[in-house]
Structure 1
Amino acid sequence: MGLLLLLSFPLSGCMYPGETERQSGVNYRESVKRIQAAVDDYQQEEGLLPILNADETTPRYEKFRIDLDKLNKKGYLDDIPVTAFEKGGSAYFLLVDEETDPKVKVMDLVTVQKVNDVQRQVNRYKSSHGGKLPVAEELYPGLHTIDAKKAGSASITLNSVYSGQPLEFIMDREGTVYVDYVFDIMNAIDKNGGEHKEGQDLRLELEQASYYVPVKSLPYQWINGQPVPLPPS
Structure 2
Amino acid sequence: MNTVKYPIMLLVLVLLSGCMFPQSEKAANSLPNDAQLAQVQNAVDKFKQQQSGRLPIKTKPEETPVFQKYQIDFTRLKEAGLLMEIPGTAFENGGYYQYIIIKPETEAKVKVVDLRITEKIREIETKLHFYEEKNQFTPYKERIAPGVYSLDHEKLNLDGPPTVKSPYSGELLPLYVNGSGDVLIDYRKDLNSFLKEYDHSYDTGEDIRYLLTQHSAVAPVYSPPYTIENGEPVFMQQAP
Q: Does TM, normalized by the shorter one, top 0.5?
A: yes
Aligned to 1:141: 146
Which of structures 1 and 2 has the bigger CA Rg? 2
User: Secondary structure of the residue that 1:217 maps to in structure 2?
Assistant: coil
Distance 2:93 2:182 in 1: 30
| Aligned equivalent of 2:67, options 50, 54, 61 | 61
Aligned to 2:51: 46
Unmatched tracts of structure 1, length 5 or more: 1-19
CA 1:90–1:25 in structure 2 vs 1: closer, same or farther (change >3 Å)?
closer
Q: Deviations over 1:14-40 (max 9, x none)?
A: xxxxxx759964343222111001111
Q: Deviations over 1:158-217 (max 9, x none)?
A: 110000000100011232111100000111101125753221101111121111110011
Matches within 5 A, 1:1-233: 21=26, 25-47=30-52, 48-131=54-137, 133-154=138-159, 157-193=163-199, 196-223=202-229, 225-230=231-236, 232-233=238-239
Amino acid in the other structure paired with 2:120: K
Equivalent residues of 2:207, 2:227 under 8 A apart? yes
Aligned to 1:4: none
Distance 1:49 1:114 in 2: 29
The count of corresponding residues between Structure 1 and Structure 2 is 213
**1:115 positional shift:** 0.9
Equivalent residues of 1:168, 1:180 under 8 A apart? yes
Equivalent residues of 2:149, 2:176 under 8 A apart? yes
**1:77 positional shift:** 0.4
Unmatched tracts of structure 2, length 5 or more: 1-24
Equivalent residues of 2:28, 2:95 under 8 A apart? no
* Superposition CA RMSD, Å: 2.2
Amino acid in the other structure paired with 2:47: Y
Higher-RCO chain (CA-CA 8 Å, sequence separation at least 6): 1
Distance 2:60 2:177 in 1: 24
Amino acid in the other structure paired with 1:35: V
Distance 1:231 1:187 in 2: 22
